[in-house]
Amino acid sequence: MSAVAKPMNNDAILKVEHLSMRFGGLMAINDLSFEVRRGEITALIGPNGAGKTTVFNCITGFYKPTMGMISMHQEGGKSFYLERMADFEVTRDAKVARTFQNIRLFSGLTLLENLLVAQHNALMKASGYTVLGLLGFKSYKDASKEATEKARYWLEKASLIDRADDPAGDLPYGAQRRLEIARAMCTGPELLCLDEPAAGLNPRESQELNKLLRSIRADNGTSLLLIEHDMSVVMEISDHVVVLEYGQKISDGDPAHVKNDPRVIAAYLGVDDDEVETVRHEVEEGAN
């Protein structure tokens, strides 16, 4: 760490320290440590079965890690140890939202309703935990209007506003991906975790997604952590890349650094360990 003070908004928002996760005899994640810095887009990449989704599930409380610490540091200075929290508390209190690899929308609910469900906790408070809302108090009506406006904002941002009153299950695939992101954003997160947001998208949809993700960071100040396979997406939008293989971190740095890391190349091309040196040599030659 250099003596030059870093700008305040560039400190770590999420710290994963010595994270391990064991399923029976399988060590899915082994002593993994990395940081997500505030205001950045961090990508978590790695070959299939490297344990990326498991890391996500540990961060968002769906799995309890076997060992290690995951801490979330909010803008206001509050910190949370995510591994100690239930999944819904991670979103509600620590303000970490997520999407899923296989999209999980409320397919029978309309787009608008999907976004309103995401604002459950705020609305719940406004409805006096149902009692005041049931009696028709005005406070709930106001809150409800506000929530609808917020939903409208996100629908516009995700270019879904035309379909606002259609069921979510009726949307094409790419739009479903964007809706899921918009829904996660409606919970008001400081960190948004995206599990393969570009999977299955065509190039045009991919571009739209990149635009949406960039604007989320720029306009809403939300930090992003994403798992991605599509290297063009990763290289284009991420500030920081963490590479996983067999549950261990093999590289960590900015996209250019990672791209040239022989271990990463080896992992992706599938060369044996003893060939790593050759690859490194080739890479260096190529660079010169």
Partner 1 sequence: MEYFIQQLINGLTLGSIYGLIAIGYTMVYGIIGMINFAHGDIFMLGGFAGLIVYLLIMTVFGGAPIAVALLCMLVVAMVVTSLWNWSIERVAYRPLRGSFRLAPLITAIGVSIALSNFIQVSQGPRNKPIPQMVNSVYTIEGISVSLKQILIVIITVVLLASFWYIVEKTPLGRAQRATEQDRKMAALLGIDVDRTISITFVMGAALAAVAGTMFLMYYGVIVFTDGFVPGVKAFTAAVLGGIGSLPGAVIGGLLIGLIESLWSAYFTIAYKDVATFAILAFVLIFKPSGLLGRPEVEKV
Partner 2 sequence: MATVTNPSAASTGSLTAKALREATFTAVMTFLMFALFIGLKTDQNMRNELILVPRWGMLAILVVIAFVGRFAMVAWLQPWRTASKAAKSAAPTVDEDAGFVKRNFSKLAILALVLYPPIILWIFGVQGSLKYIDNFGIQILIYVMLAWGLNIVVGLAGLLDLGYVAFYAVGAYSYALLSINFGFSFWILLPLAGILSAFWGIILGFPVLRLKGDYLAIVTLAFGEIIRLVLINWQDVTKGTFGISGIPKITLFGIPFDASPNGFAKMFHLAPSSAYYKVFLFYLILLLCLLTAFVTIRLRRLPIGRAWEALREDEIACRSLGINTVTTKLTAFAIGAMFGGFAGSFFAARQGFVSPESFVFLESAVILSMVVLGGMGSLTGIAIAAIAMVGGTELLREMDFLKHVFGPDFTPELYRMLIFGLAMVFMMLVRPRGFVGTREPTAFLFERKAVSGAFTKEGHG
Residues in touch with partner 2 (CB under 8 A): 60, 62, 87-92, 97-100, 104-110, 112-113, 116-121, 123-124, 127, 130, 133-134, 136, 140, 144, 148, 151-152, 155, 161, 164-170, 183-184, 187
Q: Is 62 in the site for partner 1 (CB under 8 A)?
A: yes
**Measured distance CA(83)–CA(67) in Å, rounded:** 9
Q: What is the Cα–Cα distance from 46 to 48, expressed in whole angstroms?
A: 7
Q: Which is nearer to partner 2, 171 or 242 (CB)?
A: 171
Identity of the residue numbered 80: F
Amino acid at 198: A
User: Looking at 57, 187, 206, 222, which residue binds partner 1 (CB under 8 A)?
Assistant: 57
Is the CB of 14 or the CB of 267 nearer to partner 2?
A: 14
Shortest separation between residue 247's beta carbon and partner 1, angstroms = 17
Q: Does 53 bind partner 1 (CB under 8 A)?
A: yes
Cite the DSSP H helix spans in the chain: 52-59, 87-92, 111-118, 120-126, 131-134, 138-157, 173-185, 203-220, 231-237, 255-259, 262-269, 276-287
What distance in Å separates the CA atoms of residue 94 and residue 73, rounded to the nearest whole number?
A: 8
The least CB distance from residue 171 to partner 2, in Å, is 10
Residue 239 DSSP label: S
> Among 33, 100, 124, 260, which residue interacts with partner 1 (rule: CB under 8 A)?
100
Instruction: Give the residue carrying structure tokens 């506003």.
Output: 161
Nearer to partner 2 by Cβ, of 45 and 155: the residue is 155
Residue 268 interacts with partner 1 (CB under 8 A)?
Answer: no
User: Is position 106 an interface residue for partner 1 (rule: CB under 8 A)?
Assistant: no
CA angle 83, 86, 91 (to 5 degrees): 95
91 touches partner 1 by CB under 8 A: no
206 binds, among partner 1, partner 2, none (CB under 5 to 8 A by kind): none
60 CB-near residues (< 8 Å, 6+ apart): 82, 87, 90, 91, 96, 98, 193
> For partner 1, which stretch binds (CB under 8 A), given 57-65, 131-139, 240-248, 266-274?
57-65
Residues at the site binding partner 1, with contacts judged by CB under 8 A: 53, 57, 62-63, 100
